[in-house]
Structure 1
Amino acid sequence: MSIVALAFLAKFVATFVAAIINKMSVRDSLAFGLVMNTKGLLAIIILNSGRDLHVLDHNTFSVMMLAILIMTAAVGPILALIYKSNVPSKQHTHRSIRSIQANSDNVSSVINLLEISNPTKQSPMFVFAVHLVELSGHASAMLIVHDTCSNIRKTSKITAKNQKHSSPSDQIVAAFEKLETESEESSLFVDALTVVSSYASMHEDICNLADDKSADLIIIPFHKQSTIDGGMDNGNPSFRGINKNLLENSSCSVAIFVDRGLTDSSNIKNEDGHGCCRCAMLFISGSDDREALAYAWRMASNPNPKPNISLTVVRFIVSKDAAVHSDLPPNNPNNNDHDHDEDEKKNILEMIEENEKEKQLDDQYIESFVLNARNQPSIKLIHEVLNNGEETLKLISAMGNDYDLYIVGIGQTGSSPLTFGLSEWGDCPELGPLGDALASSNIVASASILIVHQGRAVGKSLFS
């Protein structure tokens, strides 16, 4: 065993030290050192040749074969133990849209969304465009990094005649690299990648990639697509599972994009003919709504005299006469009446306390937003006092198709009387009460929707 230990530690220590010197994390350095100790078929062939040539005797051959077996077999379990924890590493925490400082088939619609997200030289955007491909014909998942320089030369030559014969990945790479080359002042940078994985583990690959790249936001298309009559098709349940898993497991913010024609150029023109996307942000309460407002503010904070975004923030305020409702399931009916009453009172008090904390944070955030947007006429804030979810839907219906893009937060079901009952309008509760109602109904049939969820980590305010 001493020979096995010496053979293992020699390469492990050398690789680990080299990785640390090159500024790799301790965990990744450990993994790198372990992987370097794996042996394959070539090592066995060399040992067999040495034995056949009588360079190695039977005892030496047996010891070295045992060392190869033990070293290779131990790597897998140790790696699984190292990466077992789902807790994001320190360097990947506190990542959200609000943590970004001022200096620091859905392809066309997503590209258009990125174009109106206001990348500037002072606040550039680094986009990792990931083409997700279902695992088929491969034994394990793959990550393909497309060479940007060579692809710009190669994909720029794709004409309308031969573009239909190119692979989907080539078309996606070409589209995003065209976006990068057309970006003004080198404010938007794109890296194109392809992830080949099974649907069951695809969200893990996305989360790991987001952690490796220290991404602040993941934008993923809705699993349903709009139809000609303005409705939505049945969608792909596998895609829906990926979206749900991302919402539950991502350490950074996630936005689900419901595309209903944002790619149509007629949807982003104002009455004067200038490019201008009319955007409405619906603000109720909570961290998801604050994160959604952060994204809307980034889109609209353009110093140009003719900005390409007009933003209307509609803040819904609960009236004093509003009744307290909850969509949450009732307590266990097996409890006796006294315990049931006590638990109900406790839940109500906890809900009131939590709502008060959120309201204070909301007020502070709205004040910061108003202070920073005071000199921009393309941004306005409207306060609407409402009593219940029915009035919320009526107000949004009255807004109708006045806007090209609605931005909302997922929020929590039953956390506000203004969303009570909205779950009856939709069939995707993972989108939150308001997002589900907008995506599953024809209230805003021709407007696209961006539904934002803040990740597990809470970042600093965008306005701090």
Structure 2
Amino acid sequence: MTNKKRTIQHTTDVSKLRLMACIYDQESMASLFSLLDFVNPTTNNPFTIFVIHLIELLGRATPMFIDHMKEIGEYWDNNNVAIHKSIKLYEKDRMNCITMNLFTSVTPNRTMYQDICESALLNKVRFIILPFHKKCIKDGNDFSSAILRPGVQSTNANTLIHAPCSVGIYACKNAATWETFSCRSNQCTRRQFVLLFLGGPDAREALALASHMVEHPDVSLIVVRFLANEQRGDIKSERKMDDGVITWFWVKNERNEKVVYREVVVNNGFETVSAIQSLNTSASIDLWIVGRENGINLTLLEELSEWSENSELGLIGDFLVLADFNTSGSVLVVQQQVLRNERVVPLACY
């Protein structure tokens, strides 16, 4: 843990943005890299990206953590060759806007989060991107029939608890490849992203990330801020900080035709969900971005707790991946770094 802020919101020099992508298989690699493209590294604002290939250690062999910038030896499993070739191709195609560092962690599922968090701490990472513990079947958009990634849910939960920086969990619903999804030509289809801003530090971090994304030439963004009727349940200090980042974002983008800002006043969680459903029916959404849970006014979530199945995504994130929501859009749930003096660390869950 660290007492220094390592977040996207508090990174003033964009060129020093350091991100970590955790991958388990070719599907998670392709989806996470397509997402990284939309965070919008450029020649003027290059990113440093740390990639950890996570492999479950079976049997009684010794765990390994390999830095491929230093180690000559490599660890091979059935899909290791394809993954490494794809990573090198990705780096080669974007050599002017990213610096890539590759690691392999071979360890039991219950301790994977330790390698993730330690590496993020040592490399001063600002944002970790984790794949959701379910992956959709080919061309599917329904997580109810998705394939489970064994051990990933507990790894995500423990990383959220112990991370020394901000964390995003990415639930990819579409089968688009990274080449087509990240295309920048004039012939590409404009991608529609939606940020659901429910307030609190997680929402502010999500807004900071979305602010980078909307600079991508193929991205349009709808920002929807949810407010409790008559400010019921608001925490004044959080509301003031929310107002500040919303004002900053709007001043920055008020002349940007790709950005739409709306405010929705609700009385309870059902009205929050209804407003989100109306967005889903009125437009084709490629990506939903939402803060996980910290600092959300409970009035906005009232009576929704019994719907949640995946605590790693928070209530709204969980709703967005439910089959009943019926969207083909992927979901990114963001948790801003929690400083050491702001948290009580529970026992790690296995």
Q: TM-score, normalised by structure 1?
A: 0.63
Aligned pairs (5 A) from 1:59-98: 87-88=1-2, 93-98=4-9
| Alpha-carbon distance between aligned partners in 1 of 2:183 and 2:126, rounded to the nearest angstrom | 30
SS in 2 for 1:215: coil
Matched, 1:102 2:18: no
| Alpha-carbon distance between aligned partners in 1 of 2:323 and 2:308, rounded to the nearest angstrom | 7
Task: Report the counterpart of residue 287 of structure 1 in structure 2.
Answer: 201
SS in 1 for 2:306: helix
Q: CA deviation at 1:257?
A: 0.3
Q: What letter is aligned with 2:9?
A: R
Q: CA deviation at 1:231?
A: 3.3
Residue of 291, 296, 300 corresponding to 1:409: 291
| Alpha-carbon distance between aligned partners in 1 of 2:134 and 2:89, rounded to the nearest angstrom | 27
Task: Report the counterpart of residue 235 of structure 1 in structure 2.
Answer: 148
1:209-243 deviations in whole A, cap 9, x for unaligned? 10111111110100012243623336246210000
Residue of 317, 324, 339 corresponding to 1:435: 317
Task: Report the counterpart of residue 276 of structure 1 in structure 2.
Answer: 190
Contact 1:413-1:419 within 8 A present in 2 as well:
no
SS in 1 for 2:129: strand
Residue of 386, 397, 400 corresponding to 2:266: 386
Q: What letter is aligned with 2:143?
A: G
Q: CA deviation at 1:413?
A: 8.6
Residue of 215, 218, 223 corresponding to 2:128: 218
SS in 1 for 2:151: helix
CA, structure 1 residues 417+248, in 2 after alignment: closer, same or farther (shift >3 Å)? Answer: same
Matched, 1:122 2:44: yes
Task: Report the counterpart of residue 254 of structure 1 in structure 2.
Answer: 167
Task: Report the counterpart of residue 359 of structure 1 in structure 2.
Answer: 239
Contact 1:180-1:188 within 8 A present in 2 as well:
yes
SS in 2 for 1:200: helix
Contact 1:231-1:445 within 8 A present in 2 as well:
no
CA, structure 1 residues 444+412, in 2 after alignment: closer, same or farther (shift >3 Å)? Answer: farther
Q: What letter is aligned with 2:108?
A: S
1:258-283 deviations in whole A, cap 9, x for unaligned? 0000625787799x843432110000
Q: CA deviation at 1:445?
A: 2.5
Task: Report the counterpart of residue 30 of structure 1 in structure 2.
Answer: none
Kindly name which structure, 1 or 2, has the bigger radius of gyration based on alpha carbons.
Answer: 1
SS in 1 for 2:205: helix
Matched, 1:179 2:94: no
Contact 2:136-2:147 within 8 A present in 1 as well:
no
Task: Report the counterpart of residue 81 of structure 2 in structure 1.
Answer: 170
Aligned-residue sequence identity (percent) comes to 29
Q: Structure 2 stretches of 5 or more lacking a match?
A: 17-24, 341-350
Contact 1:111-1:176 within 8 A present in 2 as well:
no
| Alpha-carbon distance between aligned partners in 1 of 2:296 and 2:311, rounded to the nearest angstrom | 12
CA, structure 1 residues 262+296, in 2 after alignment: closer, same or farther (shift >3 Å)? Answer: farther
CA, structure 1 residues 138+129, in 2 after alignment: closer, same or farther (shift >3 Å)? Answer: farther
Q: CA deviation at 1:432?
A: 1.4
Task: Report the counterpart of residue 452 of structure 1 in structure 2.
Answer: 334
Residue of 121, 131, 134 corresponding to 2:56: 134
Q: CA deviation at 1:199?
A: 1.0
Contact 2:193-2:287 within 8 A present in 1 as well:
yes
Q: TM-score, normalised by structure 2?
A: 0.83
Q: What letter is aligned with 2:66?
A: I
Q: CA deviation at 1:116?
A: 1.4
Q: CA deviation at 1:138?
A: 5.3
Greater length-normalized contact order (CA 8 Å, ≥ 6 residues apart): 2
Q: CA RMSD in A?
A: 2.8
Matched, 1:201 2:111: yes
| Alpha-carbon distance between aligned partners in 1 of 2:295 and 2:304, rounded to the nearest angstrom | 9
Give the strand-richer structure, 1 or 2. Answer: 2
Task: Report the counterpart of residue 250 of structure 2 in structure 1.
Answer: 370
SS in 2 for 1:278: strand
Q: What letter is aligned with 2:120?
A: A
| Alpha-carbon distance between aligned partners in 2 of 1:436 and 1:257, rounded to the nearest angstrom | 12
Q: CA deviation at 1:298?
A: 0.9
